[in-house]
Amino acid sequence: MKRWIGACAALVLLLASLSACGTDAGAEVNGSPVGAGVCLYFDDLARSEDPDADEAARQASADKMLAEYVAINAAFTSRGLSLTVVQKAEVSQTVNDLWRLFGDYYTNLGVTKQDLWKVKTSEAYKDAVMTDYYAADGDEPVGEATLQAYFSENYIAFQSITGFLTTVDDSGNAVALSDTERANIVTSFENMASAIAGGSSVAEEAAKASNTISNTETVVVSRADENYSDAFFEHVFAMENNTTSVFTDGDYVFLVLREDITDTERNLFADYRTDCLRTLKGEEFDTVVAAWAESYAVTRV
Residues above pLDDT 90, as percent of the chain: 89
pLDDT at 4 over 90: no
- d(CA 113, CA 277) in angstroms, rounded, equals 29
pLDDT in tens, 231-263: 999 999 999 999 999 999 999 999 999 999 999
pLDDT band at 119 (very low <50, low <70, confident <90, very high): very high
Q: Look at the chain and count its residues.
A: 301
* Fold annotation for 149-259: Chitinase A; domain 3 (3.10.50)
Q: What is the pLDDT of residue 72?
A: 97
Do residues 81 and 132 make contact, with C-beta atoms less than 8 angstroms apart?
yes
pLDDT in tens, 158-202: 999 999 999 988 888 999 999 999 999 999 999 999 999 999 999
- d(CA 192, CA 87) in angstroms, rounded, equals 39
pLDDT at 21 over 70: no
pLDDT band at 2 (very low <50, low <70, confident <90, very high): very low
Q: Which residues of 235-245 are buried (b: 16+ CB within 10 A; e: fewer)?
A: bbbebeeeebb
Residue boundaries of the structural domains of the chain: 2-133+273-300, 149-259
pLDDT in tens, 53-84: 999 999 999 999 999 999 999 999 999 999 99
Residues above pLDDT 70, as percent of the chain: 92
Q: What is the pLDDT of residue 15?
A: 45
Do residues 123 and 41 make contact, with C-beta atoms less than 8 angstroms apart?
no
Nearest-CA neighbor of 77 among 126, 25, 28, 17?
126
Q: What is the pLDDT of residue 31?
A: 85
Q: What does the pLDDT average to over 214-226?
A: 96
